[in-house]
Structure 1
């Protein structure tokens, strides 16, 4: 299990000019086989810096007017960047079908009985590692028809630090009495809200639902998938948790998870792409996996790299490969390239060894790191 509350930091070693990086000092510091790997080749090693860093991480001996990648002597700077807590907006389905048991009958415990304590347990345990907010859908109580009142209104609890008790109290006060499942509208409202938050913390949507989208304005799977796609394009990835989802719902939930760019990783190609949970313990495990990943393995950068293809990520002396599939390696979390995310075994290794062992190197525009 990943430690969701792990306090992390990352050392970013940035080569901020476009000239060649293989200077005389570079060659002397490597023990060299020409591979460019840290400490072993003609290229720069992890601990080979040119120029002293200024106070508070300010660049040392660089042209203050130069843009990244345009310095005269490929000067480098090193500075520490503290991990920032992820912001997670929980988008929670409160449709009346959540009162059914996991088999879709009238038995107990209901899906709502499973969801509430599981969410509250994980939100409490990640209070310091993640900033939580809450959006519930649909609005209003059931009347037997899916009306305009069913469509999502404002965010119930805005995202804030140390927000667990407030969010949990709101969940306790919520009832599963809504008509329909306007998933697409709920996601669109979430994106509208997240765009108003003026900070650079990584932001995620956690969609917890038990079924297909429904309601007049959101009655197609395509509408919901497009909403999740739009969210991802705006930089807000979506994790999808299916609460005791029946077989007929799997296709839609898989599509939502893939569109959200945070599919569940499983070596079995036939396994669901979303997080499926039919018991409280299964839901707790799924939520811990999600929150552990976003709170342990995200590393914000202070500036985008001069060349996004010339970036090296290392755990100790071990290079982590760039993997755009998100299965096992590192990738940027969004088009701004301001946050690096580790996945798979790389994330597991950081969780066990400590994020202080992670290093990131920016190469010059014409200087691949590996």
Structure 2
């Protein structure tokens, strides 16, 4: 009978007579393989604003906690908790220590921490060693440098930019908002969407952040059309919630295979003991992501199930020719 994902099971709801957790080739002489697969992590480049205005409180005054004191522990908490689900990297802007607003010394240069798997402790250590002592806010240049770097990564991992800032771009000194929006627009066109997390203390800053969030193609969803389009960070708890939402959205349902299946039409995919049927439309089920058949992508209810039960529950069977999988 059909199971939750369209598979055919026996009368007890199990996927036929097959055990997805059985030893590879057990009872078989044709090279049948049963194995677990691990999810491909998303790559996230954190582009962190370290301008001196981050030392103000969320109202733009000298109160406490400062925006920096809100942002840093929240970022570090979420980066730690998503160490296995995301590959993190770090770019900070502006450069230098009181180098002068929009000066050559302040413009963003190299990536501070390159993106890598299991990189949370390295990124968090670099954030801890960073001080909010920069002059000006060259947001557009920071995004352009981020895109230059992301283009050098020779893999097919999904890649995102997470921009954490407190509002108005200020460099170049004329049309800085438009320059930053164009940079984020260009990033999206290159395949790198931008999530915007911000603490805005004035109407102009809200407008700037909204423009960046919309241009990045990952605006915050809210039924209220007047609600901010960027993710909110007015308190640590609010920021943690925003960041958890973002990392949940970029969690992938991509599962690399160690080798292409010998018989592509005889492959079974299971979440626990539930069979997932192949769906070449990418609507609800599983399919290969390309002609090399080296990565499987889950979609629809199957992807949602993985998000709930965990990627460790996904199993794949490479069956033999004419071998019933389900």
Contact 1:300 1:338 in 2 (8 A): yes
Question: Using the alignment, how far apart are the partners of 2:158 and 2:7 within structure 1?
Answer: 31
Structure 2 CA distance, aligned partners of 1:365 and 1:256? 52
Q: Which stretch shows the higher mean deviation, 99-108 or 257-266?
A: 257-266
Q: Which residue of 1 aligns with 2:189?
A: 233
Please list every run of 5 or more consecutive structure 1 residues that lacks an aligned counterpart in the other structure. Answer: 1-46
Q: How many residues align?
A: 324
- Cα distance change of structure 1 residues 53 and 197 upon mapping to structure 2, 3 Å threshold: farther
1:75 Cα deviation after fit: 20
2:276 aligned with 1:324: no
- Measured at CA, do residues 51 and 256 of structure 1 come closer, stay the same or move farther in structure 2, by a change above 3 Å? closer
Paired position in structure 2 for 1:253: 209
Q: 1:332/1:291 Cα in 2 relative to 1: closer, same or farther (>3 Å)?
A: farther
2:251 partner SS: helix
What CA distance in whole angstroms lies between the structure 1 residues aligned with 2:200 and 2:264?
41
Residues 102 and 172 in structure 2, CA contact (< 8 A), matched pair in contact too: yes
Matches of 1:222 and 1:310, distance apart in 2: 53
| Residue 63 to residue 79, structure 1, CA distance change in 2 (3 Å) | closer
Q: RMSD of aligned C-alpha atoms?
A: 8.1
1 CA distance for matches of 2:178 and 2:281?
23
- Comparing 354-363 with 212-221, which one deviates more in the overlay? 354-363
Question: C-alpha displacement at 1:68, in angstroms?
Answer: 29
Checking the alignment, whether the CA contact within 8 Å between 1:184 and 1:218 is kept in structure 2 is: no
1:285-335 CA distance string (max 9 Å, x none): 111111122125567799999999999999999999999999999999999
How far off is 1:156 after superposition?
Answer: 0.4
Q: Secondary structure at the match of 1:134?
A: strand
Distance in 2, matches of 1:258 and 1:362, equals 43
TM value normalised by structure 2: 0.71
Deviation at 1:216, TM superposition (A): 2.5
Q: CA deviation at 1:146?
A: 2.8
1:51, CA displacement in angstroms? Answer: 17
CA contact (8 A) 2:163 2:197 kept: yes
Q: Please identify, of 355-364 and 54-63, the stretch whose mean Cα deviation from structure 2 is larger.
A: 54-63
Q: Does 1:344 align with 2:300?
A: yes
CA 359–163 in structure 1, closer or farther in 2 if over 3 Å, else same: closer
SS in 1 for 2:54: helix
Aligned to 1:78: 34
Deviation at residue 248 of structure 1 after TM alignment: 2.1
Cα distance in structure 2, aligned partners of 1:316 and 1:181: 49
Distance in 1 between the 2:18 and 2:189 partners? Answer: 35
Deviations 1:22-66 (A, max 9, x none): xxxxxxxxxxxxxxxxxxxxxxxxx99999999999999999999
Give the whole-Å Cα distance in 1 for the aligned partners of 2:286 and 2:124: 33
CA contact 2:284–2:298 (8 Å) conserved in 1: yes
**What is the rounded CA distance, in whole Å, between the counterparts of 2:191 and 2:15 in structure 1?**
28
Deviations 1:45-96 (A, max 9, x none): xx99999999999999999999999999999999997420011100000011
Contact 2:25 2:33 in 1 (8 A): no
The verdict on how the C-alpha distance between 1:91 and 1:58 changes in structure 2, with shifts beyond 3 A counting, is: farther
Cα offset, 1:264, TM superposition: 1.1
Residue 159 of structure 1 aligns to a residue whose secondary structure is strand
Q: TM-score, normalised by structure 1?
A: 0.63
The Cα shift of 1:233 comes to 1.2
What residue in structure 2 maps to residue 304 of structure 1? 260
**Structure 2: runs of 5+ lacking an equivalent:** none
Shift of 1:262: 1.1
Question: Structure 1: which 4+ aligned runs deviate by more than 3 Å?
Answer: 47-82, 296-350, 353-370
The 1:359/1:128 distance shift into structure 2, 3 A limit, reads: closer
Tell me, in whole angstroms, the C-alpha distance in 1 between the residues paired with 2:173 and 2:280.
34
Distance in 2 between residues matched to 1:61 and 1:79, nearest whole Å = 17
Q: How far is the alpha carbon of 1:176 from its aligned partner? A: 0.5
Q: C-alpha distance in 1, partners of 2:169/2:279? A: 32
Deviations 1:5-24 (A, max 9, x none): xxxxxxxxxxxxxxxxxxxx
CA contact (8 A) 1:69 1:306 kept: no
Cα-to-partner distance string for 1:233-260 (whole Å, 9 max, x where unaligned): 1111111001244332122211211111
Report the CA distance shift for 1:65/1:114 in structure 2 as closer, same or farther (over 3 A).
closer
